[in-house]
Amino acid sequence: MPIQSVQAIILRKDDFRDTSFLLNCYTDRLGKIKGIIKGVKGYPFKYGSPLEIMTLNALVVYERHRSDLGLIGQVDLMDDFGGVRRDPKKTAFGAYFVEIVDRFTAFGDPHPDIFHLLRNALRALRETQRYVFLTHVFEVRLLKSLGILPHVNRCGGCMGYDVEPVTFDVAKGNVYCHTCSSPVYNGIATTRHACSGIQAITDGAMEGDFSVALLERLYERSGENRDAVRMIRRFIDYHLDFPLKSIPVIRQFYREGVET
């Protein structure tokens, strides 16, 4: 039974039998893991962590042969991203971040960049109220890490780099110029600005710039950047086999006029 010490963000927590929990965690070195933690119900202070989703913990995991289910032997809270949980809007967006990572990643496929991306996004959520653009930057970088970011720098038909993109195909993740647009069934309108905006977010280090300056820059040109936000949201929705639980709560905040 190999023993691993990892840093882990809890993505999902389910009851298991009478006294235990099953946790899905995204770790720095092992990627996504599923672990059972025994005998904790009714003993909230047995470990130095509330074992809640959206917390960063140091875990000791006992990996078991012929099983994807590890045994978690020790949990120490490193960061609860304080303030996120006390604000219903921040909680809603944080719940979306961990749910989408859980849904789009597989067990046994380590991506340290996704761990850092999620941790940095939760830290940024603590500091900012630009929820829509923080979420957009997070989504674009996550899709890039997963290797499924739409191709927005050239037309998917004629493969031209210098043509004006007018349609985005949410099924294929391609943009099309005016000449190539007619056969696109799952198309929504796009612009050169939206495409170059998405491209710009992925430039540079994947460690992720969630700085106030970047989010303010996107916010200042909200009108133009809204097309890019819509393209990525529609692309993600299209590629989910069933909807995320956290999405209706976020949509409600959008309707109530959440600050973008």
157 is an interface residue for Zn ion by CB under 5 A: yes
Task: State which residue, 153 or 211, has the beta carbon closest to Zn ion.
Answer: 153
Among candidate residues 75, 78, 125, the one with its CA nearest the CA of residue 97: 125
Among candidate residues 207, 27, 241, 222, the one with its CA nearest the CA of residue 136: 222
Please tell me the distance from the alpha carbon of residue 134 to that of residue 114, in angstroms, as a whole number. Answer: 15
Task: State which residue, 158 or 171, has the beta carbon closest to Zn ion.
Answer: 158
In terms of DSSP H, where are the helices of 107-211?
112-127, 131-146, 192-202
Binding Zn ion (rule: CB under 5 A), the pick from 3, 158, 212, 240 is 158
For 178, residues 6+ apart whose C-beta sits below 8 A from its C-beta are 163, 164, 166
Query: CB of 99: closest distance to Zn ion in angstroms?
Result: 36
117 is an interface residue for Zn ion by CB under 5 A: no
Please tell me the distance from the alpha carbon of residue 242 to that of residue 122, in angstroms, as a whole number. Answer: 24
Binding Zn ion (rule: CB under 5 A), the pick from 155, 201, 215, 250 is 155
Query: CB of 228: closest distance to Zn ion in angstroms?
Result: 20
Task: State which residue, 140 or 177, has the beta carbon closest to Zn ion.
Answer: 177
Query: CB of 186: closest distance to Zn ion in angstroms?
Result: 17
Q: Which stretch binds Zn ion (CB under 5 A): 74-82, 128-136, 150-158, 194-202?
A: 150-158
Query: CB of 159: closest distance to Zn ion in angstroms?
Result: 7
Task: State which residue, 139 or 169, has the beta carbon closest to Zn ion.
Answer: 169
Residues 172-191 that bind Zn ion (CB under 5 A): 177, 180
- CA distances to 126, 144, 255, 259 from 55, in Å: 12, 24, 28, 25
3 is an interface residue for Zn ion by CB under 5 A: no
Query: CB of 124: closest distance to Zn ion in angstroms?
Result: 37
Helix (H, G, I), strand (E, B) or coil at 56: strand
Q: Which stretch binds Zn ion (CB under 5 A): 1-9, 26-34, 86-94, 157-165?
A: 157-165
Pairing of strands 31-37, 56-62: unpaired
Query: CB of 203: closest distance to Zn ion in angstroms?
Result: 24
Q: How many residues does the chain have?
A: 260
What phi, psi does 14 have (nearest 5°)?
-125, 150
Task: State which residue, 11 or 177, has the beta carbon closest to Zn ion.
Answer: 177
Binding site for Zn ion (CB under 5 A): 155, 157-158, 177, 180
